[in-house]
């Protein structure tokens, strides 16, 4: 019998016994391997939480008792148990199943952002709301990874949760990793506790010991909380305690753990106790990322944290990867570090994805992984700069949002030479709204004195990164998109100030011809050239330029704009506060009245879909740009 076919909601779980729950876990794990291998997605993290998610939905009553997943990339099993198993062929595709929790998909989903370390704050607020509504007996459950606990927001939330008596269950899903192994003092403590659990496994099978102890206590007439506490302390060296953990002594929070995260019986014991405990409690669950799929468990880099399409048996990628933007940056950073001893690199728990692993291997003393703590990363970089070094902070564009105050006040205000390298800027596609990097230009451009580069190709990335780390009087940003890097696009001319002219119409203008200055930002240069070539046949003379350094506005752009009939700025970011806005302000300041049009994202959160689909939907692909410029010039002529 396929038990999975009978599960349409968490209520269906409650009719199963423990053996059936274990059988269900195997079926879910097989479904994940089959479906995610075809679509790509976060395979390793979800394989690691199969039993845990089953136990959570078995014990707690979602959605009355909310289950909040931190980052929610590990919510696939939750989706399966809440009636969405049949949608996994559409995972991360346009109009299909989101790779994260989505409020539009299910009443069981409470959040959508995929940024880490926020679940405990959500849980704090939800529990306060329940208390005010007279429903304080309900539990609010937050599932947070050990990696996320390196983020400061978790500790701010813990401080508030511990101060109250509200029923918040904090489940620490401890697999020793975020993208890569978790770092820091907190991680060392968790590792020690996991080692204790490993000793328990060696001494005696965990479930046998629990069952034996339970029978003994029942024969003595011990039941309820007293029985659980006695059972937890049965054997010297067994550290499954219901006492304040030594990691949380000042907070005084109750703690259970470490619990074997792939043992349904052990999980049910712990979570059933947590469901009756009055007040906040921490349940420490030790899991294995990629559990049950050897290619994931043995994947050295990140245990298949996120994967493209793979062979469901071997785990091998089904298509070869072309050279990417990240690898070009990684090579250039290494080259710079070999020449300059003052170059140091910082990551926020993402050395592999941001290309810093080779640097860490060659220059371990000059590499700093600060955990999921972008705010700390940026201010720590300012401290390194104050000490005479030139820090390179490599993060995803979307995570710059979290470090903006630090960039503005801790770096920009005191004009420190910190270089931020923003990977996955612009549209990232299938990861969804909160992973898109369409806000970095608008955010960073308001910092006084900042310089922002948007390279169009590999050669410009190398060149502009070298220029960034040579700048010593303030912060610099180098941004590039996700994916393959493509070929170099050579300029036909470079102005003395550094603006590259990529395309210029041939011949002299004829009667009625219009001159359009098309300012292409970063990787949009190729699309801009294609549009310009096609528009020439309609008597629209388009000059395509790449400013290279898009902030501050180069005076040469103002001169070019003054000679044009129309200016169009084409950028992979939001329309408000981006390069187009900055150029418009610069033109107004010197009273240049050339009409300016902007091709950028409207005031929206782009949904998950492929990058090409999103660009087409919002009129930012090559064909749409050509059509829009043609429409504008037609209106101008009239």
Residue 537, marked binder: no
Residue 316 marked as a ligand binder: no
Q: Tell me: the pLDDT tens digits for 82-92?
A: 999 999 999 99
Residue 296 marked as a ligand binder: no
Annotated binding residue at 309? no
CB 297 within 8 A of CB 42: no
Annotated ligand binding at 266? The verdict is no
Summarised one tens digit per residue, pLDDT across range 532-558 is 999 988 888 999 999 999 999 999 999
Q: Give me the mean pLDDT over the 285-303 stretch.
A: 81
Annotation-wise, does 528 bind a ligand? Answer: no
Q: 390 forms bridges with which residues in the sheet?
A: 343
Count the residues in the chain. 638
Residue 116, marked binder: yes
Q: Where are the alpha helices (DSSP H) in 387-457?
A: 404-405, 440-444
Quick: pLDDT tens for 148-187: 888 888 889 998 999 888 999 999 998 875 445 555 555 5
pLDDT of 601 strictly over 50: yes
pLDDT of residue 190: 59
The distance in angstroms from the start CA to the end CA of the chain is 71
CB 148 within 8 A of CB 70: yes
Structure tokens at 270: 């712990």
Whole-number pLDDT of residue 220: 64
Q: Exactly one of 289, 366, 451, 548 is catalytic; name it.
A: 289
Contacts of 294 (CB under 8 A, 6+ apart): 315
Instruction: Name, of 59-63, 314-318, 604-608, the range with top average pLDDT.
Output: 59-63
User: Catalytic residue among 65, 374, 571, 613, which?
Assistant: 374
- At residue 213, the pLDDT reads 60
Kindly state the tokens that stand for 627: 């059509």
Q: Which residues, at least 6 apart from 323, have a Cβ–Cβ distance to it below 8 Å? A: 458, 484, 485
Query: 591's torsion region: left (phi>0), alpha (psi -120 to 50) or beta?
Result: left
Given this model, what pLDDT does residue 469 score?
98
Give the pLDDT band (50/70/90) at residue 241: very low
Window from 141-150, 235-244, 526-535 with minimum mean pLDDT: 235-244
pLDDT at 8 (0 to 100): 94
Lowest mean pLDDT among 83-97, 293-307, 504-518: 293-307
- pLDDT for 434 equals 80
Query: Is 115 among the annotated ligand-binding positions?
Result: yes
Residues 121-135, mean pLDDT to the nearest whole number = 96
Tokens 């921490």 locate to 282
* pLDDT 10s digits, 396-429: 999 999 999 999 999 999 999 999 999 999 988 7
Q: In terms of Cα–Cα distance, which of 480, 477, 209, 544 is closest to 326?
A: 480
Share of the chain above pLDDT 90, in %: 66
425 annotated to a ligand binding site? no
**DSSP count for the chain of H helices, then E strands:** 23, 19
pLDDT at 235 over 50: no
Round to whole Å and give the CA distance between 89 and 481.
27
In the numeric block, the tokens 């024969």 are attached to: 219
- The band of 606, judged by pLDDT with boundaries at 50, 70 and 90, is confident
Out of 18-27, 299-308, 429-438, give the one with best mean pLDDT: 18-27
Which pLDDT does position 204 carry in this prediction?
45
Q: Give the pLDDT confidence of 46-102 residue by residue, as tens digits.
A: 999 999 999 999 999 999 999 999 988 899 999 999 999 999 999 999 999 998 899
Confidence band of 243 (pLDDT split at 50, 70, 90): very low
Q: What is the distance between the alpha carbons of residues 85 and 426, in angstroms, rounded to a whole number?
A: 31
Separation CA 497–CA 618 (nearest Å) = 33
Residue 496 and residue 541 in contact, taking contact as beta carbons nearer than 8 Å: no
How many Å is the maximal CA-CA distance in the chain?
103
| Model pTM score | 0.85
pLDDT at site 145: 87
Q: Which residue has the higher pLDDT, 430 or 396?
A: 396
Token output for 423: 């990977």
**108 DSSP 8-state letter:** T
The pLDDT assigned to 298 comes to 80
pLDDT over threshold 80, residue 511 = no
Give the separation between CA 371 and CA 387, rounded to whole angstroms: 22
pLDDT of residue 46: 93
Strand, helix or coil at 594?
coil
* DSSP β-ladder status, 451-453 and 549-551: antiparallel
Kindly give the residue spans of alpha helices, DSSP state H, lying in 204-263.
206-219, 224-232
**Mean of the pLDDT values across residues 250-255?**
76
Q: What is the predicted pLDDT for the residue at 430? A: 82
Q: Is 467 annotated as a binding residue?
A: no
Active site residue 260: no
Question: Would you state the structure tokens that stand for residue 128, as one six-digit string?
Answer: 């306060």
Residue ranges and CATH numbers for the domains of the chain are: 3-297 (3.40.50.970), 325-479 (3.40.50.970), 493-637 (3.40.50.920)
- Cα separation, 229 vs 321, in Å, equals 53
Query: What CA–CA distance (Å, rounded) separates 71 from 114?
Result: 4
Are the C-beta atoms of residues 526 and 626 closer than 8 Å to each other? no
In this prediction, residues 258-272 reach a mean pLDDT of 93
Q: Catalytic: 571?
A: no
Averaged pLDDT of the chain: 88
Q: Is residue 68 within 8 Å of residue 142, measured between CB atoms?
A: yes
Tokens matching residue 471? 């700048």
CA atoms of 387 and 17, how far apart (whole Å): 61
**Is 616 labeled as catalytic in the residue annotation?**
no
Going across the sheet that includes 549-551, the strands are 367-369, 343-347, 390-396, 419-423, 476-479, 451-453, 549-551
Assigned token pair, 512: 């009625």
Select which of 254, 402, 451, 611 is catalytic: 402
> pLDDT tens digit string along 191-229?
665 565 555 544 444 455 556 666 665 666 665 565 566
The C-alpha atoms of residue 415 and residue 535 are separated, in whole angstroms, by: 44
């Amino acid at each position: 019998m396929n038990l999975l076919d009978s599960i349409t909601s968490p209520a269906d779980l409650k009719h199963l016994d423990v053996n059936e729950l274990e059988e269900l876990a195997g079926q879910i794990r097989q479904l994940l391997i089959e479906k995610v291998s075809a679509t790509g997605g976060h395979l390793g993290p979800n394989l690691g939480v199969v039993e845990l998610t089953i136990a959570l939905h078995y014990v707690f009553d979602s959605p009355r008792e909310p289950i909040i997943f931190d980052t929610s990339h590990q919510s696939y099993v939750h989706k399966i148990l809440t009636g969405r198993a049949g949608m996994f062929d559409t995972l991360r595709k346009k109009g299909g199943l989101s790779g994260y929790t989505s409020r539009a998909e299910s009443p069981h989903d409470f959040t959508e952002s995929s940024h880490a370390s926020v679940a405990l704050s959500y849980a704090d607020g939800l529990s306060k709301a329940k208390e005010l509504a007279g429903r304080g007996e309900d539990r609010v459950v937050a599932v947070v990874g050990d990696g996320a606990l390196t983020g400061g927001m978790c500790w701010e939330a813990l401080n508030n949760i511990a101060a109250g008596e509200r029923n918040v269950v904090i489940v620490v899903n401890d697999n020793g990793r975020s993208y890569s192994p978790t770092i820091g003092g907190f991680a060392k403590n968790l590792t020690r506790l996991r080692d204790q659990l490993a000793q328990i496994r060696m001494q005696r099978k965990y479930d046998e010991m629990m069952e034996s102890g339970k029978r003994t206590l029942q024969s003595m007439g011990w039941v309820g909380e007293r029985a659980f506490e006695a059972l937890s302390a049965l054997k010297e060296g067994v550290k499954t305690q219901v006492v304040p953990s030594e990691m949380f002594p000042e907070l005084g929070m109750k703690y259970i753990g470490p619990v074997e995260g792939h043992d349904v019986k052990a999980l049910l014991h712990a979570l059933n106790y947590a469901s009756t405990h009055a007040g906040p409690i921490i349940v420490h669950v030790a899991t294995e990322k990629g559990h049950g799929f050897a290619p994931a468990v043995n994947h050295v880099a990140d245990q298949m944290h996120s994967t493209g399409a793979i062979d469901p048996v071997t785990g091998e990628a089904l298509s070869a990867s072309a050279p990417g933007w990240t690898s070009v940056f990684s090579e250039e950073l290494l080259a710079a570090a070999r020449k300059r001893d003052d170059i140091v690199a910082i990551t926020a728990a993402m050395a592999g994805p941001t290309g810093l692993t080779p640097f860490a291997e060659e220059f371990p003393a000059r590499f700093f992984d600060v955990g999921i703590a972008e705010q700390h990363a940026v201010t720590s970089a300012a401290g390194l700069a104050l000490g005479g070094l030139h820090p390179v902070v490599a993060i995803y564009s979307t995570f710059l949002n979290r470090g903006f105050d630090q960039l503005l006040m801790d770096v920009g205000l005191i004009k420190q030479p910190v270089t931020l390298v923003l990977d996955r800027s612009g549209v990232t596609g299938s990861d969804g709204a909160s992973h898109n990097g369409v806000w970095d230009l608008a955010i960073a451009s308001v910092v006084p004195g900042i310089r922002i580069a948007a390279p169009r190709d590999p050669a410009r990335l190398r060149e502009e990164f070298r220029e960034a780390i040579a700048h010593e009087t303030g912060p610099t940003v180098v941004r590039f998109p996700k994916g393959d890097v493509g070929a170099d696009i050579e300029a036909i001319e470079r102005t003395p100030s550094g603006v590259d002219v990529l395309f210029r119409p041939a011949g002299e203008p004829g009667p009625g011809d219009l001159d359009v200055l098309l300012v292409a930002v970063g990787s949009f240069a190729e699309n801009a050239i294609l549009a310009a070539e096609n528009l020439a046949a309609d008597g629209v003379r388009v000059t395509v330029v790449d400013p290279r350094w898009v902030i501050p506005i180069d005076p040469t752009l103002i001169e070019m704009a003054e000679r044009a009939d129309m200016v169009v700025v084409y950028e992979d970011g939001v329309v408000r506060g981006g390069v187009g806005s900055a150029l418009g302000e610069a033109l107004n300041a010197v009273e240049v009245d050339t009409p300016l049009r902007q091709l950028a994202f409207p005031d929206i959160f782009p949904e998950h879909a492929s990058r090409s689909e999103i660009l087409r939907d919002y009129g930012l692909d090559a064909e749409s740009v050509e059509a829009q410029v043609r429409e504008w010039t037609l209106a101008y002529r009239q």
